[in-house]
A and B are shown apart, each in its own frame.
Chain A
Amino acid sequence: MLSDLYTRRALVWAFANRDFATRYRASVLGWAWSLIQPLATLIVFAAVFTVVFRIQAPPLGNGNGSSYAAFLFTGLVTWNLFSSLLNLSMSQLKSNGELLKKVQFPAWTPILGASIVQLVQILLELAVLIAMFLYLRNVGWTWILAIPILIGALLFSQGLGLMLSIVNARYGDVQYIVAVVLGALYFLTPVLYPMSMIEGKNEILGWIIRLNPMSWYVQAMHDAMYSLVAPSALVIGGLLLGGFLTFWAGFAIFNRWSEDIGEML
């Protein structure tokens, strides 16, 4: 698998270049859109959930009260990483379909190329998050732990994305199922609310949320970035391993199923 990834890196890079160059080519504001969009979501959600639903965010790691906006954005960045890679991966086979029907090359290369460009977006959002915490003077060594957590989340999302994209190429219903499931999963991940609001109040809901892998990635990010508490080594190791295994499985399934990609599309 690794040798495949290595020998085809030029092609992945060529697709990344294409997507990077064309992503915002026709728009005036260009890459500014990649920040305007999540910030708009943040402002709307923060207003609705603090004013209407009066959700209380947990205390900041520096002991200076709490910030729902910062709490929410930490979760949003992590969730966006997951959902954007999933959706982007699923759309790639279709948008490169004409090409895949006429030229022989590994079908995962445009998917990974698109994800590399999405990585730029994710890093931009992370930069805004860091700026927010710096403004709140909520800084700690536990930030370092965000790196393995995010790598785990990236691998997990990409693995799932590869898997779903190839299944979707064969069965067109999958994208609609995924849209429904993602909509529900969003509320079953502690993005809008802290886990403390569930724990001890509704055990069944608590278990459902804990069964959702994304809850673990989001919570670990909350701990490391917002609460400045180090998640246990077991959790970090588990998130990394889970990411690696999902990616490996996703890649293997993709390769197995994509042998007849030229006919499926």
Chain B
Amino acid sequence: MTQTSADPAVDLRGVGKRFQRHTDRRNSLKERIVRGRARSSEDFWAVRDVTLQIPKGSVYGLIGHNGSGKSTLLKMIGGIYRPSEGSITAQGRVAALIELGAGFHPDMTGRENIALNGSILGMPRKEISAVTEEIIEFSGLGDFINDPVKHYSSGMYVRLGFSVAVHMKPDVLLVDEVLAVGDEEFQRKCFDHLYALRRSGRTIIVVSHGLGQLEGLCDEIAWLERGVVQEHGTAVETIASYLRRVNAEESARNPMVAAVRGEDDESVRAGDQSVHVTTATITDLDGTPLTHAETDTTFQIRLGITAAEPTLGPNVRVALQHDSGTLVSMLSNHRWGVDFGTIQGDHTVSMAITDNPLLPGRYRVHVDIFDYTGSKLLDSWNDAVEFAVRSPRGEIGQGLIDLPVEITFD
């Protein structure tokens, strides 16, 4: 337990939810009669043994793969599902933003729908009329508020839905993947409003796949995997562990992603092949192949070359290309003033990229070998190896590289 709040807004103790497989649900009488009661073997636990204290006035995130149980957990906190075991205590009014504008009637005007939606969310009528103008103002719908919502664009629809839900001033607000609403300006308004809600002591529980978004928004995060809490704690730490797992799993599942390419490759080579590139690998400093390169961490592009005859100081040139087609950099031993001398037989060329400045994304490596004069092509291997750069913090870079920069302020 990283934090035990004396008076949590939501207290989950040993919460579990058992579902029956959908295909085996006996919702026809015939099946019920023919097969009798449910067979327990068809049950599965969507959420199991979850014990969490969500502190009052905090923003709490839930992360995990699809089907990890985070939405089920949210629905249980919101009272839409009953837990099969354990207990949930929530303080005050809980409002679920499972889907924005759920319950809007297409034939009714925006204004009429505000009244209806407010009632459904459990708001007394007096309170609804008190905040109606504020909701309209916030949604920015203007005169459209008196049109039937079926004429609204999807953006207008969710804007109104969001406005209604956040203005009912819940003590606990549950948000499921609905933060990406409207244009950028409205999104900023939404976030400002969520922060304002938090400042006024209300608790927000968010389910999202947008890790970057959550890192900025949440105080704490719980990571669920197959319905079980893997880790919970500060946002930064939990997201980092989650990403480590995701990256490891991805490479285990798909070994081809491992950035190693051998000679058996079918690509057509140019050049006279007197010097030949046999392997191209992305490795760490010890030469261990990597599945991906991390930002700010030194890695190597390691090439195996072989020369059939003694060859005078060849120039090995590596072109680093971003997936988008942009050439990022051209590395070569001649430009860096490194002479290999006369070579024969098998050698390894390692080019270490210190404190990897590349931003997250996919990159390709093309290798060309020229003779000592630089005029004769000995070998050329397009797409020798491809690798991904990932950030342990889950950032998505803008641009290709981080320039070394010093910022001063007078």
Chain A CB within 10 Å, residue with most, of B75, B103, B125: B103
Interface string of B22-45 (1 = CB under 8 A from A): 000011111010000000000000
Q: How far is the CA of A170 from the CA of B32 in the complex (A)?
A: 11
A21 at the interface (CB under 8 A from B): yes
Which of A10-18, A74-82, A241-249 forms contacts with chain B?
A: A10-18
Q: Distance in Å from the Cβ of A45 to the closest Cβ of chain B? A: 33
Q: Distance in Å from the Cβ of A114 to the closest Cβ of chain B? A: 13
Q: Distance in Å from the Cβ of A34 to the closest Cβ of chain B? A: 17
In the complex with contacts A14-B119, A18-B116, A22-B107, A104-B28 CB distance below 8 A = no
* Contacting pair A99 B108 (CB below 8 A): no
B319 at the interface (CB under 8 A from A): no
Secondary structure at the A interface, as helix, strand, loop or mixed, is helix
* Contacting pair B30 A98 (CB below 8 A): no
* Contacting pair B30 A14 (CB below 8 A): no
A263 at the interface (CB under 8 A from B): yes
How many residues on B have C-beta within 8 angstroms of the other chain's C-beta atoms? Answer: 31
In the complex with contacts A263-B19, A263-B81, A102-B27 CB distance below 8 A = no
* Contacting pair B29 A18 (CB below 8 A): no
Q: How far is the CA of A262 from the CA of B26 in the complex (A)?
A: 16
**Residue of A with least CB distance to B126:** A10
* Contacting pair A102 B99 (CB below 8 A): yes
Interface string of B82-125 (1 = CB under 8 A from A): 10000000000010101100110101100010011001111011
In the complex with contacts A98-B102, A171-B32, A104-B80 CB distance below 8 A = yes
Set of chain B residues within 8 Å of A10, measured between Cβ atoms: 119, 124-125
Set of chain B residues within 8 Å of A25, measured between Cβ atoms: 107
Q: Distance in Å from the Cβ of A172 to the closest Cβ of chain B? A: 6
A101 at the interface (CB under 8 A from B): yes
* Contacting pair A11 B29 (CB below 8 A): no
Set of chain A residues within 8 Å of B119, measured between Cβ atoms: 10-11, 13-14
Q: Distance in Å from the Cβ of B150 to the closest Cβ of chain A? A: 10
Set of chain A residues within 8 Å of B107, measured between Cβ atoms: 21-22, 25-26
Q: How far is the CA of A237 from the CA of B79 in the complex (A)?
A: 41
25 residue pairs bridging A and B, Cβ less than 8 Å apart: A10-B124, A10-B125, A11-B119, A11-B122, A13-B119, A14-B116, A15-B116, A17-B112, A17-B115, A18-B105, A18-B108, A25-B107, A99-B102, A102-B80, A102-B98, A102-B99, A102-B103, A103-B80, A104-B78, A105-B122, A171-B26, A171-B27, A172-B27, A172-B28, A174-B29
Residues of A within 8 A of B (CB): 10-11, 13-15, 17-18, 21-22, 25-26, 98-99, 101-105, 170-174, 259-260, 262-264
**8 extra interchain contacts, Cβ-Cβ under 8 A, other than A22-B105, A173-B29?**
A18-B112, A21-B108, A22-B107, A103-B96, A103-B102, A103-B103, A170-B27, A171-B29
